[in-house]
Structure 1
Amino acid sequence: MGLDFSVVPKFFDILLLGAFWTIAITVSSAILSFFGGIVFAVITLYAPWFIRLPFRAFEWLFMGTPLLLQLFLIYFGLVQIGIDLPAFVAGVIGLGLHFAVYNSELIQTAIIAVDRGQMEAARTLGLSRGQALRKVVIPQAVRDVIPPIGNNMIALLKDSALVSVIGVSELTLSAQRAIGRTYRPFEFYIVVAAFYYVINLGMEAVLRRIERRSQLSR
């Protein structure tokens, strides 16, 4: 009885591989959620109603249902209509779209807050509406929402553990496999918690640097 961390080094390579996949799925999903959030925000604010309404229904679906259910629908449900996605791809799509919806809400608010004179000035200079959005309005809006989007990215890292249920060998599933061979759950979960903490610190450092650079570019 008692703690025995001596079993952990034997499975450290498995945990490191799990950490790699955790970082990979987090970064990939974060990129998808960021650019997806911009696209959703622009469609919601500027697209014709017959395009906007389906996207609003899509956003409602992703905001009103659990992430775990969304992962099941993407990975297990799409197979029934002939779309067989690898577990990693399904996890990235599920996490990315889930957080893209929340990022979209933030970006919409920021776009609305941009002075309308910015758009009018850009159009006066000969830019089309799309060019004015892409080159003038959206960059200003994104700078204003970097801190809250950063918070969403930290939440995404923590929720990435859910992709273990569809078979992605990230940190949590790697720990569970080691536990199945050693029957030492507490030791491995403590080590995995430390892994997540270190990755979290790294993400926070990157996000702070991005935020500082965006403030300097104003």
Structure 2
Amino acid sequence: MPHWLQLMADSLPSLLWAGLIFTIPLTLISFVLGLLLGLMTALARLFAPRPVSAIARFYVWVIRGTPLLVQLFVIFYGLPSAGIYLDAFPAALIGFTLNIGAYSSEIIRAVISSVPKGQWEAAYSIGMSWRQAMMRTILPQAARVAVPPLSNTFISLVKDTSLAAAITVPELFQAAQRIVATTYEPLILYIEAALIYLVLSTVLSSLQARLEKRFARYGGMLEANA
């Protein structure tokens, strides 16, 4: 077996283990929390009083206007100077959650705004409250439109978790860096890490396509019954 292939085979379990223990949990947890934060931020920008809406706009402006790597450094390396100490994984989780929250809020705000006003009027005409109209009428329609952009955000997050290596989270990419430090074979190990990310992205893109088709069929059924 060629040396490079043997090295990739020997390092593969360590890389996959780091991905299973750190990369995947970091991605899933931060995406779910970021999605909830994004929903609250979008609703605040659309419906909250002006002071609350202004705070939400400021949050989105700051996060979208600064690099994710800088945000991670501020949280992990900067906050200790203010007396706030966080371990690497919670710091990365906070950073990714805030980042996903800002970007997903713009997606959610756009899709909620795209729902025709007649849907609100129809919900109110049958006695629904604002909350009932939002939960039963507006959000289900908005969710169907939001699936593609939110899925793309999730796939991007999988790749962006490699930035957590910069704040010492032992995820997939840092596992590759540690092996490089002992084998002195950066090209082989970094290509292997890239291939793992490529496989993950390909699988997720395939799942995204299936999810979009399912939502498209669901939307067609709703329109047919309307």
**Length-normalised TM-score, structure 2:** 0.88
- Quote the Cα distance in structure 2 between the aligned partners of 1:167 and 1:50: 38
- Quote the Cα distance in structure 2 between the aligned partners of 1:210 and 1:32: 21
- Quote the Cα distance in structure 2 between the aligned partners of 1:212 and 1:120: 29
- Quote the Cα distance in structure 1 between the aligned partners of 2:80 and 2:204: 34
From the superposition, tell whether residues 134 and 80 of structure 1 become closer, same or farther in structure 2 (CA, over 3 Å).
farther
Alignment of 1:94-105 (within 5 A): 94-105=95-106
Q: Is the 8 A contact 1:29 1:96 kept in 2?
A: yes
| Shift of residue 66, structure 1, vs aligned partner | 0.7
* Matching residue of 1:18: 18
Alignment of 1:1-218 (within 5 A): 4-20=4-20, 21-218=22-219
Count of matched residue positions in the alignment of Structure 1 and Structure 2: 217
Q: Which runs of 5+ in 1 are unaligned?
A: none
- Listed one character per residue, the Cα deviations across residues 119-170 of structure 1 (whole Å, up to 9, x for unaligned) are 1221222222122112211221121121122122222122111011111111
Question: In structure 2, what residue type is equivalent to 1:72?
Answer: F
- Quote the Cα distance in structure 2 between the aligned partners of 1:67 and 1:189: 21
Question: In structure 1, what residue type is equivalent to 2:15?
Answer: L
RMSD of Structure 2 on Structure 1 (CA): 1.9
| Shift of residue 81, structure 1, vs aligned partner | 4.3
- Quote the Cα distance in structure 2 between the aligned partners of 1:154 and 1:31: 13
Question: In structure 1, what residue type is equivalent to 2:130?
Answer: R
* Matching residue of 2:224: none
Q: Which stretch shifts more, 163-172 or 149-158?
A: 149-158
| Shift of residue 80, structure 1, vs aligned partner | 4.2
- Quote the Cα distance in structure 1 between the aligned partners of 2:135 and 2:81: 38
- Listed one character per residue, the Cα deviations across residues 9-28 of structure 1 (whole Å, up to 9, x for unaligned) are 33333211222122221222
- Quote the Cα distance in structure 1 between the aligned partners of 2:170 and 2:14: 9
Q: Is the 8 A contact 1:22 1:170 kept in 2?
A: yes
Q: Which stretch shifts more, 97-106 or 56-65?
A: 97-106
Q: Which runs of 5+ in 2 are unaligned?
A: 220-226
Q: Which stretch shifts more, 51-60 or 130-139?
A: 130-139
Q: Which stretch shifts more, 52-61 or 201-210?
A: 201-210
Q: Is the 8 A contact 1:19 1:170 kept in 2?
A: yes
Q: Is the 8 A contact 1:3 1:187 kept in 2?
A: no
- Quote the Cα distance in structure 2 between the aligned partners of 1:60 and 1:22: 27
Aligned residues: percent identity? 36
Question: In structure 2, what residue type is equivalent to 1:136?
Answer: T
- Quote the Cα distance in structure 1 between the aligned partners of 2:37 and 2:186: 38
- Listed one character per residue, the Cα deviations across residues 96-127 of structure 1 (whole Å, up to 9, x for unaligned) are 22122122112212111111111122122222
**Length-normalised TM-score, structure 1:** 0.91
